[in-house]
Structures are given as C-alpha cells and as structure tokens.
A = this chain, B = another copy of it.
Amino acid sequence: MAPAADADVEVKSISPFGQARSTVEGTPLSKEELKLTDDYMRASLYLCLGMIYLKQNPLLKEPLKVEHLKARLLGHWGSDAGQVFAYVHFNRLIKKYDIDGLFISGPGHGAPAVISQSYLEGVYSEVYPDKSEDEEGLQRFFKQFSFPGGIGSHATPETPGSLHEGGELGYSVSHAFGTVFDHPNLIALTMVGDGESETGPLATSWHGTKFLNPITDGAVLPVLHLNGYKINNPTILARVSHDELKALFIGYGWTPYFVEGSDPESMHQAFAATLEKAVLEIREYQKKARESGKAFRPRWPMIVLRSPKGWTGPRKVDGRYLEGYWRSHQVPIPDVASNPDSLKVLEEWMKSYTPDKYFGADGKLIPELKALAPEGTKRLSAAPVANGGLIKKPLQLNDFRSYALDVKKGGVNEGPSMANMAKFLRDVIEKNPTNFRLFGPDETESNKLGEVYKASKKVWLGEYFEEDADGGNLAFEGRVMEMLSEHTVEGWLEGYILSGRHGLLNSYEPFIHIIDSMVNQHCKWIEKALEVEWRAKIASLNILLTATVWRQDHNGFTHQDPGFLDVVANKSPEVVRIYLPPDANCLLSVTDHCLRSSNYVNVIVADKQNHLQYLDMEAAIEHCTKGAGIWDWASNDQGEEPDIVMAACGDVPTMESLAATALLREYLPDLKIRFVNVVDLFRLIPHGEHPHGMTDREFTAIFTDDKPVIFNFHSYPWLIHRLTYKRKGQHNLHVRGYKEKGNIDTPLELAIRNQTDRFSLAIDALDRMPNLGNRGSSAREKLLNEQIKCKNEAFTEGIDPKALREWVWPF
C-alpha cells in the first residue's frame, strides 16, 4: 500500500494522462497513417523492452521463461516511448518535406529509443551485419544491450545516427546548435529531458537563438520532453504552472507549442499537427530571411511534449505506480526473474505491443511499416552529419611560416606572440568562410585575438544599439562566437566539429575548469569512436588557454589555476595532446599542427602579453617537431657533460629559467649549463605509454641520468613528476611550478612566492651543486640580495622594475 499523502499538501497536477491537449489543432493523419504510425511506434517499443530484458526468445514465440531473461537486468525504459513518438513523427515530415534531419537524444539513458529505431530503419544491420534483420540477429541485438562486451544505455559512439552520447546530462541543445551552424538545410530535432533541463549548461543553452542566422544556419527544433521525473524525483519544469512554463520559453526567445496527454490516437494527431507547424514555421522564417537577404531573430518554434514517464507501460504493478512515475525510470519491473507474477505481467505487456503483427515469422519488419521510414541517408540513423568525419573538408590554411616574427637573436626582444598568431587565425577564418569558427566566452579581444575581426565579426542576432557602431564588432553573419558561458561555447564547438567542421576555443586559463567534465566526455567519445569501424575521424577539439596563471597577478588568487592540464593528462593517450609553445613562432607552428590534426583534444597554453622571443621560424619548426630539446644557443656545455640542466616548459617559465641561466653564468662563468625547453608535454612520458613519449635513451640524451635538473614548469609541479616517475634520473629532477601561492602581487612577486622566479631557480641550481664551495655561497648571497631588492622595488611601486627585462643576457 502506498503511504498516505502528506497532510496539508494540495495536490495539483497538469496530468500527463488522457486525451491530447495541444496548442495546435488539427488531424493531419489519415486513419491509415495513424494506424501505421502507432504500429511503428509499438514495434519500436517492443524492441526497447526486448533490449532491456531478453537474451533469448526475441519474438516471444514461446511462453516467456526466466531462462530467456538476461541474468543481470539493466537499461532504462522511462523516456523511451516519448522519444520514439517524436522520432516517428519526424520521419513522416522528413519524407514529406525532404528534410535533412538529425535526431539528438537528450534524456538520460534513452538509447533504447534511438537504437530500436535504427534497427527498424535497417541501418543497424547494415553497419553491424551480425545484428541482422531476422530472429537470430534480433536475439543478438537484444542481448548485446547493457551486456558485457556490448553497448551501453546512452547514445554512445556505437549508435548510428548519434553525435551526442548524453552520458553526462546538459549538452543536447548546445550540441544541436553546433551542428546546425553553417548547415542551412539541417533541422536538428532535439529531445530535451526535463531532468537534463535542470542543469546549468542546458538552462542557458536555450539562448543559442541569439547566435543563429536564419540565412546561413539550419534550425534547432527542441522537443522538451516533460515526462515528469528523474531517477527518484519529480522534475521542476513538470511541477510549475502552465503559465510559468509557457512564459519561460517565450522568455528564452522561443514560441512554445504544447502537446500533452497519453491517449495514443489523439496524441498522434496533435503531435503530427504540431510538429508539422513547427517545421513549416522554420522553413518560412528561413525563406523570408534568405529571399530578402536580411537576417533576423525569429521566435523559433519549440515543442513541449508532456507524456507519462514510462508511457504505454502498466500504470501500476503490485499496487505501486509505474507508468507516470519515477519507478519506470530504469528496468520497469525488476523482479521478473524471482517473481512469476511479475514475469507474467512483463510477458503480457510485451505481447500487448503485438510483435507478431509487425515482425514476420522470419523476424523482419513488415514492408508496410518499413515504408514509413525515410530512405538511404535520409534515415535519421544514417544521417551523414552524425558521422561528421565523413563530410569533413580539410581546412584551407596559409603557410604559417609567412606570419613568422623576425627573431635575429634569441631572448633579446619582446614580441606579441598571441596578437601575431591572431593574424594567422584571421586568415583561417577568411579562407574557410563556412568551415571554421572561433569560439570564446567574451574574451577574444581581451586575449589579444581582436585581429580576427578584420576577417569576420562576432555573430549577434540580439538587438543592436547605436553604440555598437563604435567598435562593437557585431554582425549577423559573424564567424566569432562569444557568450559568457564556457559550457555553451564548448558545446557549440563540439557540435560543430562532430558534424564535420573545424574550430578553436579560446579561454582564460583559470576558468577552463568550468568545462573539465565536458572535455572529459568529449575525450571519451572520440576515443570510443576510434573503435567503431564506420566512424570517420573528426577534426580535433582545439583549446587555446591564455591569460595564464603567471600574468594573473592583478586579478588575484581566484584567477590562478593551471590545473586543467592534470585533468586532460588523465585521459587516454590516444586522444590528448598538450603544447606549451615558448614564443610566437612556436605558437604558430603548434597552432598550424593542431588545426590540421584529427580526433584529438589539443590544448595550447600561451600567454597573451608581450614576451621575449627566442626562435626564428626554422628553429621553431624544428623545435616543435622534436617537441623537446636542448637550446644550444642558450647552453655552454657543448661537447661536455653539463654541471646542471636548466629546463623549462611554458613561456613565462622559459623566460625565468633563461634569466636564471644568465645569472648563473654571470656569477659563475665556468659553470657548464645546459638549457632544455619542452613544448610538447607528453614527450616526457615513457615511450609506450603515449605515442609522443620519448624513449629512455632520448630522455637521457637531453636531461642526463645523473645531473641535477632544475625544471621550471608552467602548471602545478607535480604533473612533471607524475610524467617522469619512471625515468632513471627522476630523483635529480627538481621541479618548480605554481604551488597555489598567490594574491594581488607583481608578476615577480607571484613567481617568488612559488619559487619560479629567476633568483629562486638560480639558487635552486646552486643548492644542488654543493661542490662549488665558497663561490657557490657567495653567488647565492648575491642572488638573494638581488631578489629582495627587486621584490621591494616591485612592491613599492606596484609594478615590476623594468631592470628585470634588461638583465645581462649572455646568449
């Protein structure tokens, strides 16, 4: 028995049950169409249940027995019916209007819906021939689901037609927008779970319409699936008034159409009419904009589909609510193996879908139903856009060498590494007008990339004010996309590259942690995609981190966190790459390399301020190709064993490390110092653990096995130890980096607090060469005095003393 309701709680309910109630009226389906549509849906739902429960007897030709069931029941039923429902109705319109469609499945664990549709479309059997369209294939199809060695309950990379896994919730709408940018004929029907809708990333992604151009882009058609429940809770959006819900979507800039109920016949008619209206509205807006050549922001249509969770299942089992309640979230009747009554309920329920009518004796879907699906690549599970690598075109890139900064002598002059690279990016945009976009959260200008606006401005479909003419750099058809939501711009970029294009995200380094989990999930997607034969490689996800920790002295402690690299380094070596170019020419070389690559997450870390330049273009290319190496011009151990190795990774660390080398050579001219720079971080890992990893021999040739190494690192120092713990000389490796010490400081003081400044590094070196005796102690004392003097000067004036840049520079 259910417990009594709480006292004093007024039960209000916009019921998901009953005859359809909808904004749009109409009965567009003929009686025959209606019946076939419903049959198709029921065939699909039968498959969903089969996937969750059966390993044998797939067509229930025999009475259902425990031995037909999988030993461990896994999978999710809750959102399947609603998703299948929307899918089959989209099919009708794809055929009727020749739509290029994409189906994005947002609700958690809703894979049975899309996988069953793929099977019905024949695509599943095409790409996985052992899951053939017959009884035996069907059995294998059922058994593999949520089964060891099989497939998961999300729309994983193994799922034809999917580019959005949905394992972690919140990104369906931003992914959808990403896919339709520059795909003017694409409509991405996006099922949005009402659970997922509570996440932050989803809640703000509705604003994507302010960045969607009806001339050059396609359309996102969201279907908010109000099935009412999450795992164990009601959803917020299903428990507010109709007025609030409607207002919310008007407020987000959409025109919401409601379809609510559970009665199949009226629901089919209502949804068919509503979806058709939405599609026609989309086309009308696009036509208006395209014919006039004037873009505008329509209040795009979206649909609110309120249907019961676990729709079409038993309303109650054993006296407790199932359909229309959270209990239908996962395996709807869990005790079928132990309870004969439950087994009976399941059998009757499955048979109520009348699989025998839809699947012939051979197990093949009957032709009348087969005919409902679109054909060829119009089938949603065969949509080429969902296998973006297939339709990807290579980027047109100028020779990056032509953007080289002139560097006559290393370490003498400062140059604008980032602003210079922006010229290269500007021309990437110029030469790839429908194939590349630059993304960022309101920081493109601040990050010194403003040069790109000469090729294209920032896309903006919001209102315009007169001030915008004064350097606003806004345009309807911009290629630069900025919204103050790292989640949204990352989601757009992911959707954009997953659907076959290229892009780059620029962000302040400290706040990239906001999308740790999104990058994690993308890494997992591309890694698994490598195992799926029919998937073609997509462009890499390129992340440029700037406004880095060592120049966040004025923004303080909250803006100091270089730890994203640790998150990325945990992902599979097959998919992650990290580069820390020390200067402008290296940054160009690395960026070019990343833009040309496939199926990686590339992280580039480079500060946006002016910095010393070290390598001319030829030297930069050679250095970046090697990934790590000795800088002969900054070393004086040629032909001899060094006394010490000074190593650096990152632009600011390189400058400080070189300055430390200069100091040491000034005070102790006969010291043999080797200077090493690392640009490709994974060179440090043992060969065999990462494709870029050095052999021990290579490592020793650079770092030695037995000499002290003072390694100045951009990020937290422990990452270097983690990468090198297997190296023979690891005990000689003395790593400095950011140690979570900072506040409002000068750059020098920030470095001193973390012992990454030139003085501390030089002292570190001396401390590791005790045989220097008095000469060492005397140099040490001088260094300490210099450090204090510079620090005080900096502190008093609020700026770093210029003298620091005019150090005696022997190179």
List A residues at the B interface (Cβ < 8 Å): 2-6, 8-13, 55, 70-72, 74, 146-154, 156, 165, 167-170, 195-196, 198-205, 207, 210, 228, 230-236, 239-241, 243-253, 294, 320-321, 324-325, 442-446, 458, 460, 462-472, 474-476, 482-488, 510-511, 513-514, 516-517, 520-521, 524, 527-528, 553-559, 561, 563, 566-567, 569-572, 716, 718-719, 721-723, 725, 730, 740, 743-746, 749, 794-795, 797-799
Contacts and interface: CB of A to CB of B under 8 A. Distances in A.
In the A-B complex, the 3 residue pairs with the smallest Cβ-Cβ separation, listed nearest first, are A167-B558, A248-B251, A200-B200
B231 A795 contact: no
A723 B716 CA distance: 13
12 contacts: A8-B294, A9-B468, A71-B798, A149-B744, A198-B204, A198-B485, A199-B485, A202-B204, A232-B445, A233-B482, A513-B517, A516-B517
Contacts of A467: 321, 324-325
Contacts of A487: 199-200
Nearest to A198: B484
B233 A148 contact: no
B798 A70 contact: yes
Contacts of A567: 513, 516, 563, 566-567
Contact of A470 (B252, B325, B513, B524): B325
B239 A248 contact: no
A418 to B, nearest CB: 15
A444 B444 CA distance: 41
Contacts of A235: 484
A253 to B, nearest CB: 6
Given A167-B555, A520-B561, A569-B718, 14 more contacts: A6-B469, A6-B474, A9-B476, A12-B464, A146-B744, A149-B745, A198-B488, A200-B203, A202-B204, A204-B204, A210-B236, A240-B253, A251-B251, A517-B561
B201 A232 contact: no
A321 B470 contact: yes
A198 B556 contact: no
A330 to B, nearest CB: 9
A464 B154 contact: no
Contact of A239 (B245, B249, B462, B795): B462
Given A202-B200, A718-B722, A556 B156 contact: yes
B203 A147 contact: no
Contact of A200 (B201, B460, B475, B566): B201
Contacts of A234: 460, 462, 465, 468, 472, 474
B239 A4 contact: no
A710 to B, nearest CB: 16
Given A149-B745, A511-B517, A470 B200 contact: no
B464 A10 contact: yes
B555 A471 contact: no
Nearest to A517: B513
Contacts of A472: 234
A476 B5 CA distance: 13
Contacts of A55: 798
A568 to B, nearest CB: 10
Contact of A484 (B156, B199, B520): B199
A566 B570 contact: yes
A170 B460 CA distance: 22
A192 B700 CA distance: 55
A559 B516 contact: no
A150 B745 CA distance: 8
A239 B463 contact: yes
Contacts of A74: 554
Nearest to A330: B446
Given A4-B469, A5-B469, A233-B458, A198 B203 contact: no
B248 A244 contact: no
A1 B721 CA distance: 55
A728 to B, nearest CB: 9
B483 A558 contact: no
Given A147-B798, A320-B471, A570 B740 contact: yes
B794 A13 contact: no
A248 B706 CA distance: 66
Nearest to A248: B251
A466 B72 contact: no
Nearest to A465: B13
Most chain-B Cβ atoms within 10 A of its Cβ — which of A170, A486, A716? Answer: A170
Contact of A148 (B198, B320, B745): B745
Contacts of A154: 556, 558
Contact of A446 (B231, B486, B722): B231
A250 B239 contact: no
Given A149-B795, A485-B198, A11 B253 contact: no
Contacts of A153: 554-556
Contacts of A740: 527, 570-572
Nearest to A561: B520
B743 A797 contact: no
A746 B74 CA distance: 12
B236 A246 contact: no
Contacts of A5: 464, 466, 468-469
B743 A528 contact: yes
Nearest to A513: B517
Given A555-B152, A725-B730, A488 B167 contact: no
Contact of A513 (B445, B474, B520, B528): B520
A484 B196 contact: yes
A109 to B, nearest CB: 8
Q: Which of A169, A202, A557 has its CB near the most chain B CB atoms (within 10 A)?
A: A557
A158 to B, nearest CB: 9
